Amino acid sequence: MEKVVKQSRMTESLVDFYSKKRVLITGHTGFKGAWLCLWLKHMGADVCGYSLDVPSNPALFEAAHVADGMTSIQGDLRDFALLKKSLQAFQPEIVVHMAAQSLVRRSFIDPVETYSTNVMGTVHLFEAVRQTPSVRAVVNVTSDKCYENREWVWGYRETDPMGGYDPYSSSKGCSELVTSAYLRSYFHPDAYEDHGVSLASARAGNVIGGGDFAEDRLIPDMVRAFMKKDAVHIRSPHAIRPWQHVLDPLSGYLMLAQRLYVDGPQFGGGWNFGPSDHSELEVGQVVERFASFWGEGANWSLADGHHPHEAGLLKLDCSKARSRLKWAPGLDAHQALAWTAKWYKAFEENQKGMGELSRAQVRQYEGLCI
Ligand SMILES: NC(=O)c1ccc[n+]([C@@H]2O[C@H](COP(=O)([O-])OP(=O)(O)OC[C@H]3O[C@@H](n4cnc5c(N)ncnc54)[C@H](O)[C@@H]3O)[C@@H](O)[C@H]2O)c1
C-alpha cells in the first residue's frame, strides 16, 4: 500500500515535470525508444528523435505512428556533424541515449558496427552535448550486461566492475567507462556551475512488451511463429532469466532524468533498474505462459544445434533506485506477459492501428504503477 501511495505522488509530478520539456531521444525508432516517445508525448513533452531507420519490419515505431507529433531525424550516431547539428537545432533540455546495435548475436557477426555505434556513438553524443548549452540532464541507457558476469547468485551493484564476454556486452561496459570518464573530465559535479550538465547511466536487463520485432529475442520469435501457425524452436528452456515489462525501466529513466534536471549532479553515475526476484522464470515457463495467453496457433519445440555463448543469470541489485528515486518495478512477470500478449494479438488483427492500444497501456501503467 505504501508503495502505491508514494508512487502516485510521483506520477503527478512526472507528468507535470515533462509537460513542455524539450527531450531528445536517440534510438527513437527502436523498441524502447518508440515506447518512450509515446509516453513523453502523452505527458506533453516536446520530443525529438535521432536514429537510423526502424531496426525491424514490422516495427512499433510504424505500427503506432510514433513519428506523429514529434520531430524525427534519421541519422547515424557515427555522423558527428549531423548529430551535433541536430542537437544544436533542437536545443534539448534532457537527452536519453538509447540508440545502439542492441543484439548479442549480431555483435558476434559484426563487432565493428557494434563497437563503433555503441562506444564511439556515445562519445559523439557526449561531445555534441558539450557543445549544446541547453542540455541539463543526460541518461545513457546501457545494459545489465555491462557488468563483469561472475556467474554468482547475488545482485550486481552499481559499484561492481564493468566487463562483458561478447562484443555487445563489452561495448556496453565500454559505454559505461566512457560515461564515467566524461563525468570526471567534463561534467564533474564540482564544476557543475560551469558546465551545467548532470550525467547518469541506466542499467536494465531484457525487457518485454508489445511491438518488439527484433531477431533472436524470445517473445518476437514466438510471435512470428505463432502468427504463421508454426512451432517455435526454443533454445535453453531451463535457463532462468528476469522478465520485465518495457514500461518499468522506462519509468526509471524518466524519474532519473527528472532528478538530474531538478536536483543536479548528486543523481549522476550508474543506476540499476531490474525486476523483482519473483519475476525470474525459466525460458520454458515463459513460453508456456505466453502460449496460453495467445491461445490457438501457439506451439513450441526444443531447438538443436550449437548456439553462441550465453551468460548465466545476471541479477541487478536495485536498492539504490528504490531508496533514492523511490522507483520500483510496477508489473510482475505474469502481468508483463499478459500485457505483451494482448498487444501482439491486437497487432495480428490490425497491423497499423496500434497507437491507441499502446497509449492505453501507458495510461494503464500510470494508473496502476505510478
Ligand atoms: N530490449 C532489451 O531487452 C534491452 C535490454 C538491455 C538494454 N537495452 C538497451 O536499450 C536500448 C534500446 O534497446 P531496444 O531494444 O529499443 O533496441 P532496438 O534494436 O529496438 O533499437 C535500437 C535503436 O538504435 C538505432 N540505431 C542503431 N544503430 C544506430 C546508429 N549507428 N546510429 C543511430 N541510431 C542507431 C536504431 O535505428 C533503433 O532506433 C539499447 O541501448 C539497448 O542496448 C535493451
Whole-angstrom distance, CA of residue 164 vs CA of residue 33: 24
Q: What does pTM read for this prediction?
A: 0.95
Nearest protein CA to atom 2 of ligand 1, as residue: 206
Residues lining ligand 1, judged by CB closer than 6 Å?
27, 29-33, 51-52, 55, 76-78, 98-102, 117, 121, 141, 143, 204-207, 214
What pLDDT does 4 receive?
41
Nearest protein CA to atom 43 of ligand 1, as residue: 102
C-alpha cell at 23: 527531450
CATH match for 2-209+243-278+309-332+352-369 among 3.30.110.30, 3.40.50.720, 3.40.50.970, 1.10.150.120: 3.40.50.720
Q: How far is the CA of 238 from the centre of ligand 1 (A)?
A: 27
Q: What angle do CA 17, 247, 271 make, to 5 degrees?
A: 75
CB hemisphere CA count around 236 (13 angstroms): 17
Identify which of 354, 331, 337 has the alpha carbon closest to the alpha carbon of residue 293: 337
Distances in Å between the Cα of 110 and the Cα atoms of 50, 74, 101, 123 are 22, 22, 10, 20
What pLDDT does 194 receive?
97
Identify whether 265 is preceded by a cis peptide bond (ω within 30 of 0). Answer: no
Nearest protein CA to atom 18 of ligand 1, as residue: 30
Whole-angstrom distance, CA of residue 215 vs CA of residue 226: 15
What pLDDT does 303 receive?
64
Residue whose grid cell is 502468427: 227
Q: How far is the CA of 56 from the centre of ligand 1 (A)?
A: 11
What pLDDT does 6 receive?
41
The DSSP bridge pattern shows strands 244-245 and 280-282 to be unpaired
What pLDDT does 8 receive?
45
What pLDDT does 304 receive?
58
CA terminus-to-terminus distance, the chain: 12
User: pLDDT tens digits for the chain (370 residues)?
Assistant: 334 434 444 555 899 999 999 999 999 999 999 999 999 999 999 999 999 999 999 999 999 999 999 999 999 999 999 999 999 999 999 999 999 999 999 999 999 999 999 999 999 999 999 999 999 999 999 999 999 999 888 999 999 999 999 999 999 999 999 999 999 999 999 999 999 999 999 999 999 999 999 998 999 999 999 999 999 888 888 888 889 999 999 999 999 999 999 999 999 999 999 998 888 888 989 999 999 999 988 888 876 555 555 666 789 999 999 999 999 999 999 999 999 999 999 999 988 789 999 999 999 999 988 7
- Mutation test of ligand 1: which of 66, 98, 114 has the most ligand atoms closer than 8 Å to its C-beta? 98
CB crowding 295-328: b at 16 or more within 10 Å, else e: eeebebeeeeeeeeeebeebbbbbebbeeebebb
Whole-angstrom distance, CA of residue 234 vs CA of residue 364: 31
Residue whose grid cell is 536495485: 318
Dihedral pair phi/psi, residue 232, rounded to 5°: -90, 140
25: part of which helix (H) or strand (E)?
strand 22-26
